[in-house]
Structures are given as C-alpha cells and as structure tokens.
Amino acid sequence: MTTLEQLRKWKDSGAITGAQFDTIAAIVRKDRFSVFVELNALLYLGVLSFVAGLTWTIQTYFANLGDAAILIGLSGLLAGSLYYCFSRATNWSSEQVESPTMAFDYVLYLACLVFGAELAYIESRFHLLQDKRDYYLLISALLYFVFAYRFDNRFVLSLGLSTLAGWFGVKIIGFSTVSSEPLRIAGITYGAVVAGCGAWVSLRGIKRHFLETYLHIAANVLFIAFVSGIFDRDSGLYFVGTLMLAAVSIYAGVYSRRFAFVVYGTIYGYVAVSYQALRNVTDFVSTLLYFIVSAAIVIVAMVVLARRLGQSN
C-alpha cells in the first residue's frame, strides 16, 4: 500500500480531515507549496538585523560621526519610513485590512525599530530623563500600539506589548531589588492587564483579530510568573494558581478551537505537578520512570485531543 493510499484510508475512516489530507498529500506528491510564512519571517528578521547593524555602527563610530550626523540620519530614516506608511495606508477600519503594498509591513516595522534606537541613543548621550528613563519604554509602547491599530499590524502590536512588559518590570523592580518577587508580581500584573485590555478592546469591536495576540502573550507571562513562584518560593499558593490557570487555558483552548492554549495549559501544568511530585524524591530510577510514564500519557492525550479538535473543525 502506497503512502497516498494509506492517507486516503485515514481520510475515509475519519482519522484525518479533508484539509489535512490535501496538505499532506501535496507534500507526498512533491507538489509546489507556499513558503509565504517562512519568507515573511525572514523579511522581518532582515529588518531586525538591519537595525541591529545600524545600532552597532553607531555605537562603534559615534565619536567620528558626531551626534548631529547620527540624529539627522536616524530622523531622516524614521521620517522617510513614516511618510511611506502614511502616504500608502488605506482608510482606518476597525476590521482586519490587507496591507496596501508588499513592503508596507516591513517598512512600518523598520520605522518602529528606528524610533526605539533613536530614543536609546538620545538618552545614552544626553540623559534627558535620567532616573525616569523608564518612561521612554512607556512612550514607545504607546506609539507602537497606535501604529499597530492604525496600520493593522500584529508584529508591531507584539512589539508594543513586549515594550510595555519592559516598562512594567522596570517600574515595579524599582521598589525593591532584594529578591525576584517584585519581578514576579510585575509579570502577574502585566499578564492580567494585557488579557483584560485585549478582551475589552475586542468586545468593543475594534480589531477583534488582535485578541489572540494579547492572549498568547498574557498566558505565557502568567504561566512563567506562577511556575517561577513554585520553584523559587515553593509556595502552595503559586501551585494552586498554576493549576487553575492551566485548567482555564485548556478549557478556553478546546472551546475556541485554539490548540496552542491547550498546549500551554498542559505543559506548564505538567511542569508544576511534576515538581510537586518529585521534590522529595531522590531515587534516580523512580524519577526516570515517572517521566517516561507521565510524559507518554501527556503526549498521547494531546495527540488524541488535537485529532478530535481537527475533526470538529
């Protein structure tokens, strides 16, 4: 029996869906397939590498170039990028819109990164805000959010969310540097704020397709904060919080047919339970046997659930 015949058998029995059969069959037949996602990621990586190279050049040769030349160059690049975006952007819409040109998203991403690089250079050279320099992060985050919603770009939205996370961390750590607890509180606060704001904006009918980006980032930050509390403080409160969050994530993932959230809840919940189960176990054989059996059960359960979710779509 050939591979294609076996795939047809699985399709007829309901083991895989028609869409899954078409995708796998195209690979088996060595048909042409889209590499848009891969190329898109490489182009964004190229923009990031360009700005990183530009920053390295400034740091290495700023003494020869001078502040005026560097600021004029960065400002010119920023102004040109923003002019390109605003002159070619379509009218504002609360729904998802397509990019007006193929280069549009990458130029917008370039503008955001150049803006951040210029702010960092200004502060490093002139110390305008001094001990309040964390407001650079807040200003940048707000600007990125405006650009993300105006031009409908989830990469810029992610950039804004990550910059806001940096501001939360700097702001709360400033109250105490004795332990990692302030950073953990910052993570929990940030995750809750991001999830709440994303849901609120989505319920108002503004860029509903952005909600998943908010939830992906919020879920990972919350899970990392709670799990780190289990390892660092050995706290039962953090353990219970992790299990509750895992249950919510798995339920929401199944309900909304978003398997990534099922994975988040399963993996982080498994880590928390495993730590609690093995923290007093010193026998290597018992530990190894636990991981072999439990990991196999988790993997099989996730495969079965993924297949059922695929069949129900």
What local confidence, expressed as pLDDT, does residue 178 receive? 43
- Which residues lie closer than 8 Å to 112 by C-beta, 6 or more apart? 143, 144, 147, 156, 159
What local confidence, expressed as pLDDT, does residue 214 receive? 96
What local confidence, expressed as pLDDT, does residue 42 receive? 75
Over residues 41-62, the pLDDT tens digits come to 777 788 888 888 888 888 887 7
> What are the residue ranges in the chain where pLDDT is below 70?
1-2, 4, 26-38, 63, 170-179, 233-235, 309-313
Q: Measured between alpha carbons, how far apart are the two ends of the chain, in Å? A: 29
DSSP characters over 151-200: HT-HHHHHHHHHHHHHHHHHHHHTT--SSSHHHHHHHHHHHHHHHHHHHH
What local confidence, expressed as pLDDT, does residue 32 receive? 52
Tell me, rounded to whole angstroms, the distance of Cα 45 from its chain centroid: 15
Tell me, rounded to whole angstroms, the distance of Cα 106 from its chain centroid: 18
What local confidence, expressed as pLDDT, does residue 192 receive? 94
What local confidence, expressed as pLDDT, does residue 11 receive? 77
| Integer CA distances (angstroms), 17 to 24, 27, 272, 312, in order | 11, 16, 34, 9
Biggest CA pair distance of the chain: 72
Domain boundaries of the chain, sorted by first residue: 34-174, 179-313
Count Cβ atoms below 10 Å from residue 21 Cβ, excluding itself.
17
User: Sign of dihedral through CA atoms 237, 239, 241, 247?
Assistant: negative
